[in-house]
């Protein structure tokens, strides 16, 4: 029994390490791969001890802590996936007062694919709803040539959206700041606001927007870049926990 468990843990651990290694070898700027290496170690270490017959020599409290941690993590991720799926394919009703496009990476040539996907959703909506206005969100990161808000506004203008329909929120560096600053630019208690973001991010963003005072917030789901989908969801689950603990959601 314990040998079978050891094999399962070892296979899972190697898979996690390989997944993290994909990040190291890719050009992505994310640093979340350290999590996958840590999880690999947490899985492989008990596997080695079980296979060598030394697991029973480990203090019971430590064995129980490892088991509880792994089970709790799996249970939490399952619950979070259910939370994400509630708004994974959200579309906003017609006639919103505003759509707010949450920021993402900008490169020398313009918005990265994640931000471009969000802007494409916003552009299509704005063309169909000429009375709606848009708020592009995001400050300038240290590795970005301009603010995410400005890059978003330029992209929308190139898509045919009049500049006077676009408001720039160019000071925020997090989803919570996106929501608070966008709320301050609207009549948050009465205006209807579409929150345009990646599909796995919609549920958390809606909770944050409503916490920030946007009473009539609607999700607008954009396709996520699928290169590392599992990583995006797990990373998002940690952000969700952080928002809950900090009172942002």
What is the CATH T-level fold of the domain 98-246, as seen in this structure? Rossmann fold (3.40.50)
* Amino acid 87: pLDDT: 94
Q: What mean pLDDT comes out for the span 115-127?
A: 97
Q: SS3 for the chain, per residue?
A: CHHHHHHHHHHHHHHHHHHHHHHHHCCCCCCCHHHHHHHHHHHHHHHHHHHHCCHHHCCHHHHHHHHHHHHHHHHHHHHHHHHHHCCCCCCCCCCCCEEEECCCCEECCEECHHHHHHHHHHHHHHHHCCCCEEEEECCCCCCCCCCHHHHHHHHHHHCCCCHHHEEEECCCCCHHHHHHHHHHCCCCCCCEEEEEEEHHHHHHHHHHHHHCCCCEEEEEEECCCCCCHHHHHHHHHHHHHHHHHHCCC
| Packing angle of the helix pair 229-246, 202-211 (nearest 10 deg) | 20
Q: For the chain, where do the domains classified as CATH 3.40.50.620 start and end?
A: 98-246
On whether the CB atoms of residues 126 and 160 are closer than 8 A, the answer is no
User: pTM score, two decimals?
Assistant: 0.84
Mean pLDDT (the chain) is 92
Quickly state the pLDDT bin for 143 (edges 50, 70, 90).
confident
Strand pairing partners for 194? 99, 218
For 220-248, the pLDDT digits (tens) are 999 987 667 788 889 899 998 998 888 88
* Amino acid 3: pLDDT: 78
Percentage of the chain beyond pLDDT 70 is: 97
Quickly state the pLDDT bin for 212 (edges 50, 70, 90).
very high
In 3D, which of 111, 120, 72 has the Cα closest to residue 222? 120
For residue 245, count CB atoms less than 10 angstroms from its CB and return exposed for 0-12, middle for 13-18, buried for 19 or more.
exposed
d(CA 135, CA 58): 56
Percentage of the chain beyond pLDDT 90 is: 76
Quickly state the pLDDT bin for 249 (edges 50, 70, 90).
confident
For 39-89, the pLDDT digits (tens) are 999 999 999 999 988 988 999 999 999 999 999 999 999 999 999 999 999
């Amino acid at each position: 029994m314990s040998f079978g468990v050891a094999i399962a843990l070892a296979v899972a651990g190697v898979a996690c390490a390989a997944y993290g290694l994909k990040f190291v070898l890719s050009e992505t700027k994310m640093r979340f791969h350290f999590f996958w290496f840590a999880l690999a170690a947490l899985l492989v270490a008990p596997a080695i001890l079980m296979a060598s017959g030394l697991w029973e020599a480990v203090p019971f409290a430590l064995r129980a802590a490892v088991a509880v941690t792994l089970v709790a993590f799996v249970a939490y991720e399952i619950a979070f996936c259910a939370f994400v799926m509630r708004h994974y394919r959200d579309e906003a009703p017609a006639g919103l007062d505003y759509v707010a496009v949450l920021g993402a990476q900008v490169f020398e040539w313009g918005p990265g694919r994640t931000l471009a996907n969000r802007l494409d959703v916003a552009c299509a909506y704005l063309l169909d709803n000429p009375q709606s206005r848009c708020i592009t969100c995001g400050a300038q990161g240290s590795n970005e040539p301009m603010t995410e808000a400005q890059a978003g506004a330029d992209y929308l203008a190139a898509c045919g959206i009049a500049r006077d329909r676009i408001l720039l929120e160019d000071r925020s560096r997090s989803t919570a700041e996106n929501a608070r600053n966008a709320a301050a630019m609207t009549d948050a208690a009465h205006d209807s606001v579409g929150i345009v973001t990646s599909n796995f991010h919609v549920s958390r963003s809606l909770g944050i927007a409503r916490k920030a005072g946007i009473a009539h917030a609607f999700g607008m789901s954009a396709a996520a870049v699928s290169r590392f989908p599992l990583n995006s969801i797990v990373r998002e689950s940690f952000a969700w926990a952080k928002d809950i603990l900090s009172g942002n959601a």
